[in-house]
């Protein structure tokens, strides 16, 4: 059996992402003995951004959000996710 390297401690998620983007996980984990897990209550990491929108566009978003009874910020995320998924499907 191959001796596995020790996984380092990470200070941030970004540091961990950087590490795994440059290292082969098979040197650190024995995937043959791994088990599937589920994290049903795990929320994705978020990052606050500043986005300048024309007032008319923001007003239209707020009108649609009000009709759907969702916060307008949530509606923006929903629309972005739907469009990104569509773009990725069409580019594949």
Q: Where are the domains of the chain?
A: 55-91
> What does pTM read for this prediction?
0.55
How many angstroms separate the CA atoms of 92 and 75, rounded? 26
Using the predicted structure, report yes or no on whether residue 92 has a pLDDT greater than 80: no
HSE toward the beta carbon, residue 30, CA cutoff 13 A: 6
pLDDT for 29-80, tens place per residue? 999 998 988 888 888 888 999 999 999 999 999 999 999 999 999 999 999 9
Using the predicted structure, report yes or no on whether residue 86 has a pLDDT greater than 80: yes
Q: Which two tokens stand for residue 20?
A: 């795994």
pLDDT for 2-13, tens place per residue? 799 999 999 999
Q: How confident is the model at residue 1 (pLDDT cuts 50, 70, 90)?
A: low
Assign 57 to helix, strand or coil. helix
How many angstroms separate the CA atoms of 35 and 66, rounded? 44
pLDDT for 14-33, tens place per residue? 999 999 999 999 999 999 99
């Amino acid at each position: 059996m191959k001796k596995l390297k020790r996984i380092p401690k990470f200070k941030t998620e970004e540091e961990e992402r950087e590490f795994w983007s440059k290292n082969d996980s098979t040197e650190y984990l024995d995937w043959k003995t791994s088990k599937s897990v589920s994290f049903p209550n795990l929320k994705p990491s978020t990052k606050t951004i500043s986005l300048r929108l024309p007032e008319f566009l923001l007003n239209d978003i707020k009108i649609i959000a009000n009709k759907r009874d969702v916060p307008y910020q949530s509606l923006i995320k929903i629309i972005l996710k739907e469009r990104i998924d569509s773009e990725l499907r069409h580019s594949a």
